[in-house]
Structures are given as structure tokens and as C-alpha cells.
Chains A and B, each alone.
Chain A
């Protein structure tokens, strides 16, 4: 496809902003972010979060937008094509393979979670979600997703995920088949405002909960917000035999504090202690979590933004559009997600209910919360439907990079490309859904692709932008047609600070999450992801990694043989 050929593009600037923000706004905004902020304490975490936003978020976001648009002007929409073309180094196209692999592989399990959201919303509407205990909510979840044994997820009743999975798969491919402007953009134009309205409705409900049970006065919305946002954390600690102090529990609320103080007064081995904001900031895990959240929340390093922006025109603004899409994501995350999830869970379930994994909080604790809430059936439906909308806008963005890649690598039209990608993702999703026991396949692919490889791609992208394209040329590319330029200080940040920050975070993360060293205590224990592959072999985990390798090989071979990517002979793509 030469640049003169009529090619797809966005219908409007608002359209692409909504599409990119739709890609970024997902379950992480409403489930992961609040959990992390509450875990670390709002003050310290938010400081690290905003610093990461300025250093990592905006830098990589603007770099991806600029590189994508420049690549689009050279006639490429896929990550390998774009990276090879704009760096002037054809071999670098192989780095771009990650920009196709990551969204396609994530889609394979994300669509499964998307089906949970739709299924939960429908079940709330049908009145099937009135749980009396956490065990009931957990049992429903286990049965719904087929966690008990492999193959259990292929059930088609209303209380099982099978039907919903097929429905969301068809919806995604129907929208992607319609094309960029008539499918993705049109859907996001309605879904994103609807999502914000739904979130505001649920927010009002949560903030007006008061103290639902007078017998537990500490469990109220104010304390729920305090648990999330208070800069200092108060904990009850116990002295161990070695003389050190270990945390017994966190304390939120006056009644709990009085009880803890009374316990501490009655025992020499107990004490109540306040963890200040300054002390929180010395915790490296807080920085790791804050940077990671910015990273994953903004969809940077996914290969999505670079693809979406490649459909822009030469003079379309990328600086304002990038900032607008980013700010929309931040508004949904901090302004909406930060006020809904944890306060609601705390108000009904206390600290124990408001902590835990993203999926545990979302699909075990929150259904309990809505079950206990006045008009909970309606608000449960609204909340899970908003998660569903957020998930659809994200999953659509995971398909488009694959579509563009197949169009270019195999030189086929969109319809055939959609068909091929549909086949690949159906096999992959079928694999993930079949191996549903303990969600092992989902968890393994999420770790190695959805975390590990994203770090790698984002680091590669910012190094390419800062060192191979060069910040001077890169910022010139970004500022073309911009309503306002990228602040000049970002030249320095993009070249030195962001890569260094990313490399440090990546080294810390690898040390802790791959090699198993606790970066605070120094204790060593390999994580389950590594044990599953090398120490205590788990066949499903090994199959999952084999699937990743097969897809990498497939994409790499296509990249190598595609005539479209032979820049020297085709179009002389020296920048």
C-alpha cells in the first residue's frame, strides 16, 4: 500500500481520543488502581503515581503517538512496519513484532474476563446475585468461570461463562469487521460517555451509603475513603521473638483504634504505630506498583497507540490528542475508580474485603457488596455493565494492531485479515478458556506477555525514540500540527530520565517477580510462574508459554518474508 493509496483513517479527532482513552480505560482503572492506592496509603502512592505519570506516562505516550503518525505517513500501520520505517533500520522491524504479539495474546484471555463482566451484569439484572457470605460469592465465581477443573468453563447456562464468551467474541469481531471509523470509533463515541455516566451514577450511590450497619460504626463511607486516601497508615504490631515488630493488622476508624490501643496497653508485645507518608515513600514496592500502574493503565507499550495513531493525517494534532486521551484515562482511574471500589468494599466488608487481588476484589468482594446494598441489584448491574463497556473498548484496540499487521504482511484486505485473526484468537482463547482450572493459562500468559513483555516493548520504544530517531527529530515529528508543543524539557526526560527510570523499575521488578528476591528483606523464593516452568513443572503453564513462543515464531516469520517490510527494495524508507 503506498501512501497515495486511499487508506483507513479516523473520522474525527474526538473519535480517536475516545478510541485511545477507551483502549486505556479498563478493569485496571476500577479494580487494580484503588486496591494499590489503599494497600500503600493514598499520600505516598499518589505522589509516586503522579511522578511516574509525568516521567513514564506522558513521555512514552507522546513518543508512541508521534512514531505511529510518522509511520502512517510512510504507508505503515503495523508496529513492525512503523518501527522499521521510521528508524531507518529495517532490522528493527523485529522489535515491532512485540507490538503485534502483545495485544493479540492479551486479547486471548481478556475476552474471557470481558465475558465475566457481561455475565455478572446480566446475572445481577436477573436477580441471581444475592449472596449471604463470601463463600457463596466465591462459589458462584468458581462455577461461572470454571475454576474447578479444565473444561468446566464450557457451560452455557446463565450461571456459566460459555454463552457470554461467544457473545462478546462475536461483538468484538463484528465491530472490528466494520472498520476503524464505522466500528471502533463509532462504538467508542457512545460507549465512553456512557461509561462515565454509569460510573457517576454508581459513585453517587457509593458516596451516599453512610453507615449501613449501626452495629459496626467504623464501617462507613468516610472511613472507606480514609482507608484509600489517608496519608498515614495506623497499624497494630506485635513483637516477635527476635525483637523485631511485625504488622498484625491495619486500623481504620475510631472504634477500632480505641480497641487496638486498649490491646496494646494490656500487652508489652503489642504496639500501635503510625506509618508516615515519608516512611511509605522509602518502600521500593510502592514505587514499583505506582510505576507499573501508570504503565499498564495508559496502555503504553502495548502496541496499540502506535497503531491507532498511524491512521492520523500528517497535520493531525498528536500532542493535544495524546494528552486528552491520557487525561480521560486518569479521570476515570483517580476521579471515578478511586472513589467507588475501595470505599464501597470497605463500607460493607471492612479492610479484609477491600484488599486482595484485582480479580478477587472485582468478582468476589464487589458482588457481595452490591448484594448487601439497597437497590444493589440495579447498581450491581450498572457497575458490571460499565466494566463490560470498558473491557470492550479495550479489547477492540487489541485486535486492530493484529488486523493491520496481517493486512500488510500477507497483503490481504481487511475482511480476510479479520477472518485470519479471528481464527488465531479463537484458538488462543479456546486454549485459555479450556485450561480454566485455577485460571492457570490466563495467569501465565498475563504474567509473561501482559507484564514482562510490555516492560520490554515500552523500554524499546522510548530508547528508539530518544536515541535512534533522536529527541530533536522526534519532538519535531510530535509537534507537527500541534495546538501546543511538547514542553522542551521532555527532550531531556525522553532521552535520559524515562529510559533510566524504566530500566530501574524493570530491574527491580525482574529481581522480585522473576528471580524471586524480596527487594526489602532480601529473602529468596522463586515465584510460581518460574516454578511452574522449571522447578515444579506444570503442564498448562508450559503449554501456555509454548503458545506464546509459537505466536512469536509465526509473527516473526511473517515479518521476515513479507515483501511490504523489505524497505530497501520496496520504497526506500530511509527517513
Chain B
């Protein structure tokens, strides 16, 4: 692989990994995230 190849690979993989990492951090640390009351135990409520 050429130097240019290394640079493009590192920038490409690095940028998507950084974006993904930042999103994970932001999702987990942003307040008001709450588990809803109707968890997995209750039947799906659109059953009529």
C-alpha cells in the first residue's frame, strides 16, 4: 500500500469511527433518555 493509500484509509476509517464514537457518547450521556414504562413484559399494546 502506498503512503496515499494509508492516508486515505486512516482518514476514512478514522472519521467514521470518530463520528460513531461521538454519537455513542452523546446518546449515552444526553439527559432525558428514559426506558419507557411498557417494557418487554407487557403484551404489545396494539392488540385489539
Contacts and interface: CB of A to CB of B under 8 A. Distances in A.
Interface residues on B, range: 35 or more
Contacts of B24: 324
B1 A46 contact: no
A277 B7 CA distance: 13
A323 B46 CA distance: 29
A10 B30 contact: no
Given A334-B16, A339-B13, A11 B5 contact: no
Given A181-B39, A334-B16, A339-B13, A43 B47 contact: no
A320 B26 contact: yes
B32 to A, nearest CB: 8
A10 B4 contact: no
Given A226-B1, A317-B30, A483-B30, A7 B46 contact: yes
A338 B4 contact: no
A212 interface: no
B16 A10 contact: no
Contacts of A226: 1-2, 5
Majority DSSP secondary structure for residues of A touching B: helix
B46 to A, nearest CB: 5
B44 A179 contact: yes
Contacts of A10: 36
Interface in B24-44: 24, 26-28, 30, 32-36, 38-40, 43-44
Contacts of A46: 8, 12
Given A12-B36, A338-B12, A229 B1 contact: yes
B16 A330 contact: yes
A211 interface: no
Interface stretch (A99-107, A108-116, A380-388, A407-415): A407-415
A324 B47 contact: no
A65 B32 CA distance: 19
A186 B1 contact: no
Given A232-B2, A232-B4, A407-B46, A9 B9 contact: no
A25 B46 CA distance: 28
B44 A414 contact: yes
Interface in A199-236: 222-223, 225-226, 228-232
Contact of B5 (A225, A315, A413): A225
A331 B17 contact: yes
A83 interface: no
Nearest to A321: B27
Interface string A5-24: 01111111110010000000
Nearest to B35: A12
Scoring A14, A321, A333 by chain B CB atoms within 10 A of each residue's CB, the highest score goes to A14
Given A331-B17, A415-B47, A483-B30, A11 B4 contact: no
A413 B48 contact: yes
Contacts of B6: 229
Contacts of A327: 16, 19-20, 22-23
Nearest to A411: B48
A11 B40 contact: yes
Interface in A40-84: 42-43, 46, 50
A407 B43 CA distance: 17
A145 interface: no
Contacts of B2: 226, 230-232
A335 interface: yes
Given A232-B2, A320-B30, A334-B13, A413 B35 contact: no
Interface string A304-322: 0000000000010100110
Scoring B8, B27, B32, B36 by chain A CB atoms within 10 A of each residue's CB, the highest score goes to B8
A213 to B, nearest CB: 19
A182 B44 contact: yes
B1 A222 contact: yes
A335 B16 contact: yes
Nearest to A77: B46
Contacts of B47: 413-415
A328 interface: yes
Contact of B45 (A7, A277, A335): A7
Interface string A277-311: 10000000000000000000000000000000000
A396 interface: no
B16 A324 contact: no
A7 B48 CA distance: 10
Contact of A43 (B4, B17, B34): B4
A8 B16 contact: no
Nearest to A481: B32
Contacts of B30: 317, 320, 483
Given A11-B39, A42-B5, A229-B8, 20 more contacts: A8-B45, A11-B38, A13-B27, A14-B33, A179-B46, A186-B40, A226-B5, A229-B1, A230-B1, A230-B8, A231-B2, A277-B4, A320-B23, A320-B26, A323-B23, A327-B16, A327-B22, A413-B48, A415-B47, A483-B26
19 contacts: A7-B46, A14-B33, A43-B8, A178-B44, A225-B5, A229-B5, A229-B12, A230-B2, A230-B8, A317-B30, A320-B27, A324-B26, A324-B27, A330-B20, A334-B13, A335-B17, A338-B12, A413-B47, A483-B30
A-B interface, 10 closest residue pairs, ranked by CB to CB distance from nearest: A179-B44, A226-B1, A230-B5, A324-B23, A331-B20, A229-B9, A231-B4, A229-B5, A327-B20, A330-B16
Interface of B: 1-2, 4-6, 8-9, 12-13, 15-17, 19-20, 22-24, 26-28, 30, 32-36, 38-40, 43-48
Interface of A: 1, 6-14, 17, 42-43, 46, 50, 178-182, 186, 222-223, 225-226, 228-232, 277, 315, 317, 320-321, 323-324, 327-328, 330-331, 333-335, 338-339, 407, 413-415, 483
